[in-house]
Structure 1
Amino acid sequence: MKIPTRDLTADDLELIAFAQKIVDENTDGEDGIHTMGAAVRGADRRMYGGINLYHFTGGPCAELVALGHARASGARELTTIVAVGNYGRGPIDPCGRDRQILFDYHPGIRVILPTADGVRSVAVTDLMPLAGRWSPEAGAQPFAG
């Protein structure tokens, strides 16, 4: 099954750069607690950021922190989200928990993530039937759409 994706827009590229700036300015090493940055755009075009807080009990992902930041700032309708890794790893697809939360709270949101066709935008409703792939040996793998 081929998942429909879209080319990135200028707004998408700006959102990626914002998330990258967050993680670049706040990372604390390859295996540190702050290794992922995220950014979400509201319908009013404002951007909100977040950074992960790794913890062995399952600390919050950067996407969830960005969602909380947006909500605490009054944003109710969100259009696009992206998470990026430190050290220039670029966009990374959201984990299953993040996908479910995005689907439940913002079913109209688009997710920027790596695909077989490069970094693209995907509707979360199209992404939900698919599970993110991860292994200790290879880490997070690109979405194979």
Structure 2
Amino acid sequence: LVPLPGSVRERELVGRFIAAVEQGDTPGLIALLTDDAWLTMPPQPGEYRGGEAIARFIARERGDRRGANLRLVSTRANGQPAFGCYLPDPHAPIVRAYAMMVLTLREDRVSAVTWFGERSLFAYFGLPQTLPE
């Protein structure tokens, strides 16, 4: 079963996902993913299958190789939880739009992550290109 949009169950799961990503909690992130979870990046052909592979991808995008943390701003896409992902600007006290992420939920876990690397999508969700740090 999928948690109802906006329900307490959904909000709690989304909150745990945000915390795990922003804090770089790889074990916590893996625990939130179903065993058969997958991550796709349309229109790219690549995909990641399984919690560990997805967690490694998100950790890398989170900024482990850049020395910066990924900041998530909640929105919705097609009724599903989604996020604008922002990275800090190294030269100014702001964060810049980086990518969009959409979750597919199953029961109390995340079964799919769809990653869009196109910053122009932010406008469709009313998200700014920059935010104060």
Q: TM-score, normalised by structure 2?
A: 0.29
Q: TM-score, normalised by structure 1?
A: 0.27
Query: In proportion to residue count, which structure has more strand?
Result: 2
